[in-house]
Amino acid sequence: MSDDLAALFLRHLCQTSAAPLGIEVARAAGSTVWDASGRAYLDLLAGMGVANVGHTHPEVVAAVRAQAERHLHVMVYGEFVQEAQVRLATRLAGLLAPPLAVVYFTSSGAEAIEGALKTARKHTHRRRIVAFEGGFHGDTLGALSIGGNPVYRAPFEPLLPEVTRLPFDDVAALAAIDAHTAAVVVEPVQGEAGVRVPSPAFLPALRRRCDDTGALLVLDEVVTGFGRTGRLFAHQHWGVVPDLLVLAKALGGGLPLGAFVGGPAVMATLGHDPPLAHVTTFGGHPLSCAAGLAALEVLLREDLPARAAGLGARLLERLRALVGRGGLVAARGLGLLLGLEFAEAAASARFARRALERGLILNWTLHRDTVVRLAPPLVLSDAEAERAVEGIVAALV
């Protein structure tokens, strides 16, 4: 990074950690990010799960260019018929199981979580929210209220009342969900908690408990959606259908976009008593929706969920063979959402630093500093995967 730009970055952009990665990005394409000096980095985080079809995919760029020449923002959400919004919502609805057919677009995942929480409370006329230890759903006050790490909640308390957190992947604990519960919010695979994949019985049991109590099941697939885990949506691994599905990250093909999706009866609650019960100015921005639709068509045409399943399984096998080196104690994951667990935080930080020195972009998870997450673009080639393994081996010293 040039001295002037580095100084301005540190002076004028709010710093959220003492040691940002600090790569000055010149350009990005596919699974590669180039810095201002021309050095290439293999991106094993995909912009934190955003670039599932790769960075600056030509079809996504073309869709953005065409939409930009047509119109940008023209009206607050829901008032004008904007083709980019309608086409993406229709395509999504066609890919989801009934009754998921009505989409509310937002600008981010945290905003989508907020909308889902409001919808659940208003629809059920209940207040209590159940979430899970280790869960991460964003950093707005409502999303933070259901987050599973007290370290990040404590500085901002008091937060939303009547939030109960249960242990993740504990079927017996689900008895705490009762007739006062408006919604249960859960990630199908916990990402920031260290890539925790639940046992086969957990999500089906949770679906049954919500049915029995009348609580809405809200699945947060901000990270796991759009092929990341080897299915188009992670909930398809367990054969469950949520009442509300929360999406973001890869949804926009590289542009900011979130959404929550539900059945007509549930989503209709936002249109009355009062009308405009939930509004947004930039949610579903036409540029983002055009990019999202183009990315989705690439994902489906190239069957990238299957690519994630196959390549992820092969990578996981290679990574498990490395356990015992450099403090690595476990490797786990689903599709191309993989976690490397270390014996201590210092070992994971050392590994991440050495990997970056070798041109690999990765980092530890927010709520589990002993786990390094890998979430590369789903277009990662076999040769790039081999480079990634070689770099990981070299960093495990």
Residue type, position 206, single letter: L
Catalytic residue at 169?
A: no
Catalytic residue at 136?
A: yes
Residue 71 to residues 6, 84, 88, 254, 282, Cα–Cα distance (Å): 35, 10, 16, 19, 14
Catalytic residue at 118?
A: no
Residue type, position 287, single letter: L
Task: Tokens for 336, please give them.
Answer: 């191309």
Q: How far apart are CA 194 and CA 373, in angstroms?
A: 7
Give the chain's length: 397
Task: Tokens for 205, please give them.
Answer: 């049991």
Angle between helices 382-395 and 345-357 (to 10 degrees): 130
Catalytic residue among 43, 169, 220, 243: 220
Neighbours of 48 (CB within 10 A): 12
CB 362 within 8 A of CB 33: no
- Dihedral of CA 380/386/388/392: which sign? positive
8-state DSSP, 383: H
Catalytic residue among 43, 105, 132, 136: 136
Residue 135 to residues 116, 127, 145, 212, 271, Cα–Cα distance (Å): 16, 20, 11, 23, 30
Q: How far apart are CA 331 and CA 322, in angstroms?
A: 9
Residue type, position 387, single letter: R
Kindly list the catalytic residues: 136, 220, 249
